[in-house]
Structure 1
């Protein structure tokens, strides 16, 4: 066949392409099957996963079940009991699954067996392999339906090839299952992995009990109610659910769950509205726990904009955002969760920090004075010098790392940490209020702008440092034009290479005077077990003391003061959010984690720097193997050559000399 010849694809190829739109990974199968179970009126749903799900997925429910004839039709293409025609779609779909393609699509890329029995009827089992029915026969079974999926993607090796590592795939299954457990507190949802129960909700209808089963006691106790009567007029009939205290947060959106008419969706507009409601109570890179239910006229929302129905489109999106933001903000205000002095997303004043060799609960003088003199924007940035207490409410000190730590096992590493702290010295002069400023003289340090010669570097261009822009970018003149240096990205690169160098030898750690216990969610616990070796090599000596509690004994030296034991949660979340295969080995996993750990002690934006600090920063950056990009790939230096600057000022107009 020539490349220009157009021909019709054979039915088998068409089916596999269509199946790929619905069945992207094992979690896609679980989503479709759990939706079918809930639509069938089940009061109990059990999801069992073997390894990453490709070996085996089983979903069992006690719903209405299907007869022999219904089973035969259920595995055919576009057959459903949930809609009748296009009018049902136009008026809005009230069920979770409706396209009639899930079972057919799953059967097209796996070996599928469905055993079902309607109440008062006979049990039947049907087997489908690669899209073809191979057997249908009577079966003894309780009322309800059990769907067994094995050898997923056995006939689509390309799809199987691009699946992530086992822990990542199971994490996606965990997310789907917990989401539907949270969405349906009146249904007892259980998730089992390799024969062991991961979590189980009670099915009593109590949402807080469901959160307790899924996320643990600490999170459940930190949730506050979003009452239905706090929503202003608009497309949404009601907004209800639970949102967490600002101090109980994570580094990813993984735990911000939104449901529209009972359907789990990733509605970007709704999520942004939730974050807007917290305003400055959360740092830009922190996210709350939320379980939010939106009820809306089905005719005003389109759930068919995504092949797997993960996204929705509202007819009046801006008003929906206003309604959600108002409802969540009202809930937080009702609970009195408005802070005026603590840094965003960080610990309240009474929470103590991890400090080498200090007295327990005794902050250092320099940090006390800094906290009392910094302005609002500067105060938010001092979070880099504080322990991450995202693990719980402000009134809880169980896992904030209140214990002090012993001296570092590596003097050089401790020195590096001290030098990093010195770079955080902040300016309090009037100059710090300007958008761009030159560095003020301090002690014997000279004004950089008065330096006669451009400073020489080995890798970086020769430059004369002029000042800071927005207290975030270092501005310098070069022989070719102008450069901006992102101070956070620069320091992140430096810390990353320090961590790398440390890791190639003996990992330097700081031991906690008293072990700190952290309560993990079901998902975090599963990830901890899978990656405990990587965490250990990185400097986190920790172990599970029960199913959902980990005891931390040591932390990496470089991040001991800025993050602490609770950083383990953020590290674990990266195994999901990174969506890469790089974590297939411990070495590669650790390299990913080093890049994330490097961020914590790094100079942040909106931080005033003195001239000596800038020179030290640039000199250290110049000695890095790669001074041009942070470990996450962001540029450290942006250069504007003279030609570009002159073109922007249109200095090449006719007649200009």
Structure 2
């Protein structure tokens, strides 16, 4: 078709350049922090030794980024504000071979200037003449004239989104917007410890790094002494890493006990670029394993060097995400590097739970008893000299609390096993009948830890056996399972796995009758069991109901908390004030949310720029919160995804109650008795909204009879009934 084809009869039209520019700006400049990111990257690409960032009102009124980099002359300035102009790359070949600079799209100054009043003053290094000032408003060059200025570049962004009111309307509070700005500047301060980076908000210096090339000193500047002193160096490359695209991994990670309730402080970099990558984050969290709770995150500044052709940085308009050619390999490499660093400093125990040797640490020699001697032979592993492992893989030796049982020693101890998914009973007492030849799947060891914190009858096996002897297994009355070849000394273990009463019991110890329970809001439910020790499986009159036990308990706790805080929250005065050191971001948020903190029962006074003294803490659910939880409250306030204008004190307090309700709630991977399940469902039925947790997740999933029949195609001719 000819390009000259008339378009008079069509509704499709070409957008004018101003509209196109504003649409593009919306992709690149989402909020003040987006503009700060682009400008700081330009300063670093210009070879600056110092970068000073100043913002007012969270960056909505003013952003100023000043550097001592290469600087620009008049011709460079005029070209820099045009669309798709850059000095970073020449073409597609540079894009595909790997990008060494932080910026490369050629959009930053043009798009920022399209939605703000932009002023740039710059003078090239070594030029003794005057500099140049360019004013760019709403996408148009307003003026270009000589000006006196130091070598380098100063960019001022005033009245951001003044000509796009819809975008400005959806900005968050000043504290939230500044938190995003702080995150960006912090990321690049840590990535470039040889550059002196400072951040000032509303005339107050938030932090300033020295620029002396010391990463630990940079961490000290942005996070404080407490965090800096807990950081552990990570350094791995070459043969020290599993096979994968990452050539080296360096940086710092924190002691497991130094953590926060947010991912805010997971700073990860690929080839010097601050990015978010699931594979990297999952590798870090995998290395910590169970040393951190499911809702806690360490402080991290981790740098990955990856060949340019193994990572794609051109997958996001704001360049904050990357894509690897092999995510799984990257995950393994990061996990290995971080775990090795933590192990070297004695901060992690072996991956093997309860002292058992990990599979890769042992090998079985051919021999009797079905091809095994029953005694693993050690290889080049982490087992210390003088140690051995018993037939179940437990490490023994001079420092071990467990002696290696001799063959035929019937008195050898064995470890209790947790219940398999699908059983309401917990622990070995709920083992399948002895005539069931199918071995039970052993649960992970974290079940025992979860039980320790879980309320409502989620007691551990040992607790229930000790307090209720009737539920303890009577091995003399139950036959063992099928005779299999087992390692010497494992007879007790086999009995524990295949024996035990099968009758379910309620919390009161009575036999559970399995009858349905009538509710006022919820449908009548008959408890069938648990799936994966996480979901309650119930039969309803018209189908099957799955209940997320954590979400259900979270809803119950939230409504209890909300009722308790309806008037004046119960608070506990501390015998003496507890001083807390805050990070730069937390300290800045403290001023904005002090009233909200007091509304919850946290009373604190500022000692200095980074320290507060907590005098009163909330007392909730028969528990007095620890003073450090104040940091988590600040985080929940700042990170809340609230609509603009809704950040009232009551709304902030309510949002934290939702987060607070999560912690004492029954966790997943927790086995429950039928009685505790019915209690939980009864409490859920009393809730104002039993169908969603306070964070909006569903509590109940319903599968109607018709849907189940459709899935099994029971309407197929000749197959009904």
For the criterion TM > 0.5, the same-fold answer is yes
Distance 1:475 1:300 in 2: 45
Moved more, 227-236 or 109-118: 227-236
- Assess, with a 3 A threshold, how the Cα gap between structure 1 residues 467 and 78 changes in structure 2: closer, same or farther: closer
2:627: which partner in 1?
A: 565
1:45: which partner in 2?
A: 51
1:246 aligns with 2:259: no
Q: Secondary structure at the match of 1:204?
A: coil
- Assess, with a 3 A threshold, how the Cα gap between structure 1 residues 467 and 306 changes in structure 2: closer, same or farther: closer
- Assess, with a 3 A threshold, how the Cα gap between structure 1 residues 604 and 34 changes in structure 2: closer, same or farther: same
Distance 1:613 1:209 in 2: 51
Which of these residues, 303, 312, 315, is aligned with residue 302 of structure 1?
312
1:144 aligns with 2:213: no
2:504: which partner in 1?
A: 440
The Cα of 1:559 is off from its aligned counterpart by 5.5
1:603 aligns with 2:666: yes
The Cα of 1:422 is off from its aligned counterpart by 5.2
Moved more, 323-332 or 376-385: 376-385
Distance 2:97 2:677 in 1: 62
1:593 aligns with 2:603: no
* 1:504-653 matched pairs, under 5 angstroms: 504-558=566-620, 561=623, 564-581=626-643, 584-653=647-716
The Cα of 1:235 is off from its aligned counterpart by 2.3
- Assess, with a 3 A threshold, how the Cα gap between structure 1 residues 597 and 198 changes in structure 2: closer, same or farther: same
The Cα of 1:646 is off from its aligned counterpart by 4.0
1:404: which partner in 2?
A: none
2:131: which partner in 1?
A: 123
Distance 1:616 1:606 in 2: 18
Which of these residues, 479, 488, 491, is aligned with residue 541 of structure 2?
479
2:165: which partner in 1?
A: 157
Distance 2:503 2:102 in 1: 60
* 1:278-427 matched pairs, under 5 angstroms: 278-339=288-349, 376-382=445-451, 384=453, 421=455, 423-427=457-461
Distance 1:106 1:605 in 2: 46
Distance 2:155 2:472 in 1: 69
1:69 aligns with 2:75: yes
The Cα of 1:160 is off from its aligned counterpart by 1.0
The Cα of 1:218 is off from its aligned counterpart by 1.3
- Assess, with a 3 A threshold, how the Cα gap between structure 1 residues 439 and 643 changes in structure 2: closer, same or farther: farther
Given that 2:36 and 2:181 are in contact with CA atoms closer than 8 Å, whether structure 1 keeps it comes out as yes
The Cα of 1:423 is off from its aligned counterpart by 3.8
Distance 1:336 1:143 in 2: 49
1:469 aligns with 2:538: no
Given that 1:343 and 1:380 are in contact with CA atoms closer than 8 Å, whether structure 2 keeps it comes out as no
Distance 1:516 1:467 in 2: 46
The Cα of 1:223 is off from its aligned counterpart by 1.0
1:177: which partner in 2?
A: 185
The Cα of 1:655 is off from its aligned counterpart by 4.9
Q: Secondary structure at the match of 2:513?
A: helix
2:116: which partner in 1?
A: 110
Moved more, 425-434 or 273-282: 425-434
Given that 2:506 and 2:676 are in contact with CA atoms closer than 8 Å, whether structure 1 keeps it comes out as no
- Assess, with a 3 A threshold, how the Cα gap between structure 1 residues 559 and 231 changes in structure 2: closer, same or farther: farther
Distance 1:118 1:618 in 2: 71
Distance 1:492 1:4 in 2: 56
Which of these residues, 256, 262, 265, is aligned with residue 255 of structure 1?
265
Which of these residues, 107, 123, 131, is aligned with residue 101 of structure 1?
107
1:356: which partner in 2?
A: none
Deviation digits for residues 629-651 of structure 1 (CA, Å, limit 9, x no counterpart): 21112222233333334444554
Distance 1:463 1:210 in 2: 57
The Cα of 1:34 is off from its aligned counterpart by 0.4
Distance 1:551 1:560 in 2: 24
Distance 1:65 1:516 in 2: 48
Deviation digits for residues 143-202 of structure 1 (CA, Å, limit 9, x no counterpart): 111111101111111111121221111111000000000000001110100000111111
- Assess, with a 3 A threshold, how the Cα gap between structure 1 residues 147 and 443 changes in structure 2: closer, same or farther: closer
The Cα of 1:382 is off from its aligned counterpart by 5.0
1:400: which partner in 2?
A: none
Q: Unaligned 5+ residue runs, structure 1? A: 345-372, 386-420
The Cα of 1:510 is off from its aligned counterpart by 2.7
The Cα of 1:53 is off from its aligned counterpart by 0.9
Q: Secondary structure at the match of 2:250?
A: strand
The Cα of 1:442 is off from its aligned counterpart by 6.4
The Cα of 1:536 is off from its aligned counterpart by 1.2
Given that 1:448 and 1:466 are in contact with CA atoms closer than 8 Å, whether structure 2 keeps it comes out as no
Given that 2:245 and 2:326 are in contact with CA atoms closer than 8 Å, whether structure 1 keeps it comes out as yes
Distance 1:305 1:603 in 2: 39
Root-mean-square deviation (CA, aligned residues, Å) is 2.9
1:135 aligns with 2:199: no
Deviation digits for residues 414-434 of structure 1 (CA, Å, limit 9, x no counterpart): xxxxxxx55443444689989
The Cα of 1:379 is off from its aligned counterpart by 3.4
Which of these residues, 188, 193, 207, is aligned with residue 199 of structure 1?
207
The structure with more radius of gyration: 2
Q: Secondary structure at the match of 2:142?
A: strand
The Cα of 1:64 is off from its aligned counterpart by 1.6
The Cα of 1:294 is off from its aligned counterpart by 1.2
Could you state the TM-score of these two structures normalised by the residue count of structure 2? 0.77
The Cα of 1:383 is off from its aligned counterpart by 6.6
Given that 2:232 and 2:342 are in contact with CA atoms closer than 8 Å, whether structure 1 keeps it comes out as yes
Which of these residues, 282, 289, 294, is aligned with residue 272 of structure 1?
282
Distance 1:234 1:444 in 2: 55
Given that 1:165 and 1:581 are in contact with CA atoms closer than 8 Å, whether structure 2 keeps it comes out as no
Deviation digits for residues 219-238 of structure 1 (CA, Å, limit 9, x no counterpart): 11111111144434542221
1:79: which partner in 2?
A: 85
- Assess, with a 3 A threshold, how the Cα gap between structure 1 residues 100 and 472 changes in structure 2: closer, same or farther: closer
Distance 1:247 1:194 in 2: 33
Distance 1:450 1:76 in 2: 73
- Assess, with a 3 A threshold, how the Cα gap between structure 1 residues 504 and 314 changes in structure 2: closer, same or farther: same
2:385: which partner in 1?
A: none
1:388: which partner in 2?
A: none
- The count of aligned residue pairs is 590
1:30 aligns with 2:33: no
- Assess, with a 3 A threshold, how the Cα gap between structure 1 residues 102 and 430 changes in structure 2: closer, same or farther: farther
Q: Secondary structure at the match of 1:42?
A: coil
Given that 1:65 and 1:145 are in contact with CA atoms closer than 8 Å, whether structure 2 keeps it comes out as yes
Distance 2:36 2:208 in 1: 16
Could you state the TM-score of these two structures normalised by the residue count of structure 1? 0.84
Distance 1:114 1:284 in 2: 46
Given that 2:572 and 2:624 are in contact with CA atoms closer than 8 Å, whether structure 1 keeps it comes out as no
Distance 1:309 1:199 in 2: 25
- Assess, with a 3 A threshold, how the Cα gap between structure 1 residues 54 and 228 changes in structure 2: closer, same or farther: same
Q: Secondary structure at the match of 1:198?
A: strand
The Cα of 1:595 is off from its aligned counterpart by 0.8
1:359: which partner in 2?
A: none
